[in-house]
Chains A and B, each alone.
Chain A
Amino acid sequence: MNHDQAADFLRVSRATLDRWLRQGLLAEAGPTLAGFDRQKLALWARRRGIVAKPVQQTAPRTPAHLLADAVERGAVGTFEKGGLDARSAIEAAMAALNLPSETKRVLLEATLDRERLASTGLGHGVAIPHPRHAHPELLEEAWISVLFLERPTDWAALDGQPVHTVLLLLSPNTTVHLQLLARIAFSLRTPGFDEFLRTRPTQAELVARLKDLTRQG
């Protein structure tokens, strides 16, 4: 590796590496004009108790259409019967998903748990129920089930408005969950988006609109 890479490997600046070379501190690491042997440098760092850079772990990149993909993977539907409470709305949204029934049972339990802790009524007539704790063992990707309610129902929402759209979020981990939350909040703040939701778009329309929003954002 060349000197810049060596500095990066030791997690010091190039100036520090050059000073160490000048001071002869790196003599045992076998420096040459071209640079260092990785193995020798790693041994040197180890002897000196310097923690070198671990092998590059590429962080999983966030897909551009995280939200749209999750909706596409999930389901969009309308609940037409009246007199629906939050619990049965969550049950219905969960049932619409194409996941193993055992998985859905566990996640439903966790979602109701979460709802008991605090309401997920976000305002603008939208609720975002989700399970308590991430379930990486059950889910590999994020799933969203969208349920439009014929008759808006009370969800103890922040703005007191009854909820007309339920977005059931199922995330494999906390990072994805936070990204989904942030994108939903962004979408809802976009002028005209809640009106769009009130038109009860189809899955294809909703996915297209979300992709469109991502491009803007």
Chain B
Amino acid sequence: MTDSPYDTRQPLSQNLKARLHVLGQPEERWSQLLLLALLAGLASGGAAVLLRHLVHLAFHALSEARHGVVAVLLPALGGVLGVAVVSKVFREPAGHGVPEVIRAVCRGGGLMRKRAMVSRWLGSLINVASGASAGLEGPTVYTGAAIGSAVGGLFHVDERRRSVLLACGLAGGISAIFNAPMTGMIFAMEVVLAEWSAFTIVPIVVASVGGTELSRLLLGDSASFLHGPFEMGPHDLALCVLLGLVAGLLSVLFVKGTRFFHHLSGRLSSNGLVPPAFFGLAVGTIGLLSPDAIGEGYDVAQSVIQDHLDLGTGLVVALLAAKLLASCLTLGSGSPGGIFAPSLVIGSLLGGAFARGLAALFPETGFAHPGSYALVGMAGLVAGVMQAPLTGIFLVLEVTRGYDVILPLMIVSVISLLVSRRFDRYSLYHWELAESGELLRPGTDQRVLAEIALRDVLDEDVTPVFSDMLLADFLVVLRSSKRNVFPVLESGTEEYVGMVNVAAAREILLDHELVRVTLVEEIMDTSLQPISADTSLTRAMRTFEEKGVWVLPVSDGERFLGIVSKSSLFDHYRRELNAQMPE
């Protein structure tokens, strides 16, 4: 009972207080968590709405000046400035930041730096306003998560609650920026937390409601995209299977393209400011030729949905290609900006092109309004690029309030997901983390093994024997011990030299004559090298399996520390797993 937080020798009053502090009143703990969730949702919702508003103002103010050389230079300037703000001023890693948020949940106990509340907010403001082909949602996720984490830190909540508050923050931000509470909630659960339980859902719902309501108070309650009443018939539904396949392939192209430019920028220069300058110039050039291909691009998506885009099939495809290239360049350069907006815009253009193509091929057949194909394409891209089908479905559902296309939405999302998974096991958000072994979901083997330190399972209560001991003397040690395995230390230096396995040396140990002329070092097994105390348990587990042993010696380089046995590891493993299981 060494872990008991209260001491029975303390006076009753203090004891009671400690007891209350530890157990708490369940309602009290809930109300604190929900209040903080609301706070996180409101704060990050406010930040998101402000960001979007400022970007719109700046983008439109700058479009007056978007001619000739200025138009080419602007995105480069914005990209360089954006990266400079993030990586030089705030000294934060470049990129859209969502992987860092997931890493904070998986490995950091939901801890994010306070500066993260401002860095990408400011960086993406500059970058997207200047014309970069990226969205504000990634930075909003990052900023919101940092706000949630800070709220948790301010009130000294534990790591699990801080992780949930982090998710609340980003859910509030996404909810506010799209006026879409369910999307915020689903995104936080599906992409970031991956833990579906009352403990996570309840606070996130509160935060999403808070963020959305704030957005409605400030900007009014309207769907982000207006659309007419759309009907999709059975033949449209069948065609959506095809659209889903194309959306999946396009998602893969988007992800691969972004990764390609990312690698290219790594080889271009070690200075993080060079790639956004070069790629920014390319984006600027694209913008000069096709102004609709740059910026956040929601106006474009809007006109495709309303079928106001006065372009033929070929030109829509060209615009799609330009948008795709501009987005890959922007995101690959490491400048702060999100994947959401480009995915939606590319998806809408895909739907628009698809509908135009159909109408051109089969002029007699009556197809659904091109806008409905645009909606479906949007969901397909989001599902494929983020490998988050629920987020795709709910996002399009909410930003358009278009429940009439729910069935095609669902079909296209899952088909696109399947196609995308065929090429990449992990999404753009998770890929990097999975590569480095940091994608650790609660209740999984990797997470459990990663949380337990080797020192936790280290058995220091072992009786080391010395190499020059006679077996007769060793038998005395053996008799007073329950163990079968004894580490052997060199007498004098106390360095680990081997391990005596009683079972393997049974014949000698039972010979009353041999034990008096044989030394411990003559029966020990020297083939087991000690593992370091910093070894990860995943690694230690592999060593157990590869060597086919039950016990491994542990040292800190010079000094023998103890042994770690498979059985005690399994014991800890079970306990840790049970403790981590969602309630």
A interface residues (Cβ-Cβ under 8 A, vs B): 49, 51, 54, 114, 117-123, 128, 132-133, 158, 174, 177-178, 181-182, 185, 188
Count of interface residues, chain B, beta-carbon cutoff 8 Å: 24
Q: How far is the CA of A55 from the CA of B468 in the complex (A)?
A: 36
Contact B517 A128 (CB under 8 A): yes
B interface residues (Cβ-Cβ under 8 A, vs A): 445-446, 468, 470, 505, 507-508, 511, 513-514, 516-519, 521-526, 538, 542, 545-546
Given A49-B538, A117-B468, A182-B507, check contact A174 B514 (CB 8 Å): no
Complex interface: chain A residues within 8 A of B538 (CB): 49
Complex interface: chain B residues within 8 A of A117 (CB): 468, 519
Closest approach, in angstroms, between the C-beta of A7 and any C-beta of chain B? 16
Query: Residue A185 contacts which of B446, B511, B526 (CB distance < 8 angstroms)?
Result: B511
Complex interface: chain A residues within 8 A of B511 (CB): 182, 185
Q: How far is the CA of A63 from the CA of B338 in the complex (A)?
A: 70
Contact B517 A122 (CB under 8 A): yes
Contact A122 B545 (CB under 8 A): no
Contact B516 A51 (CB under 8 A): no
Contact A174 B522 (CB under 8 A): yes
Closest approach, in angstroms, between the C-beta of B345 and any C-beta of chain A? 36
Closest approach, in angstroms, between the C-beta of B468 and any C-beta of chain A? 5
Query: Residue B445 contacts which of A49, A122, A133 (CB distance < 8 angstroms)?
Result: A49
Measured CB to CB, the nearest residue on chain B to A184 is B514
Known: A122-B514, A158-B513. 17 other contacts (CB 8 A): A49-B538, A49-B542, A51-B542, A119-B517, A120-B517, A122-B517, A132-B521, A133-B521, A174-B525, A174-B526, A177-B522, A178-B522, A181-B508, A181-B518, A182-B507, A185-B514, A188-B513
Complex interface: chain B residues within 8 A of A188 (CB): 513
Contact B519 A118 (CB under 8 A): yes
Complex interface: chain A residues within 8 A of B513 (CB): 122-123, 158, 185, 188
Q: How far is the CA of A117 from the CA of B490 in the complex (A)?
A: 13
Given A49-B445, A122-B513, A185-B514, check contact A178 B508 (CB 8 Å): yes
Give 20 pairs: A residue, B residue, CB < 8 Å, sorted on A: A49-B446, A49-B538, A49-B542, A51-B542, A51-B546, A114-B519, A117-B519, A118-B517, A119-B517, A120-B517, A121-B517, A122-B513, A122-B514, A123-B513, A132-B521, A133-B521, A158-B516, A177-B522, A178-B508, A185-B511
Closest approach, in angstroms, between the C-beta of A167 and any C-beta of chain B? 11
Closest 5 CB pairs of A and B: A51-B545, A182-B507, A185-B511, A120-B517, A117-B468
Measured CB to CB, the nearest residue on chain B to A133 is B521
Complex interface: chain A residues within 8 A of B525 (CB): 174
Q: How far is the CA of A132 from the CA of B524 in the complex (A)?
A: 13
Q: How far is the CA of A188 from the CA of B511 in the complex (A)?
A: 12
Complex interface: chain B residues within 8 A of A122 (CB): 513-514, 517
Closest approach, in angstroms, between the C-beta of A178 and any C-beta of chain B? 6
Measured CB to CB, the nearest residue on chain A to B523 is A178
Q: How far is the CA of A188 from the CA of B508 in the complex (A)?
A: 14
Complex interface: chain B residues within 8 A of A174 (CB): 522-526
Closest approach, in angstroms, between the C-beta of A170 and any C-beta of chain B? 13
Complex interface: chain A residues within 8 A of B516 (CB): 158
Q: How far is the CA of A174 from the CA of B523 in the complex (A)?
A: 7
Closest approach, in angstroms, between the C-beta of B570 and any C-beta of chain A? 15
Closest approach, in angstroms, between the C-beta of B219 and any C-beta of chain A? 47
Q: How far is the CA of A167 from the CA of B525 in the complex (A)?
A: 24
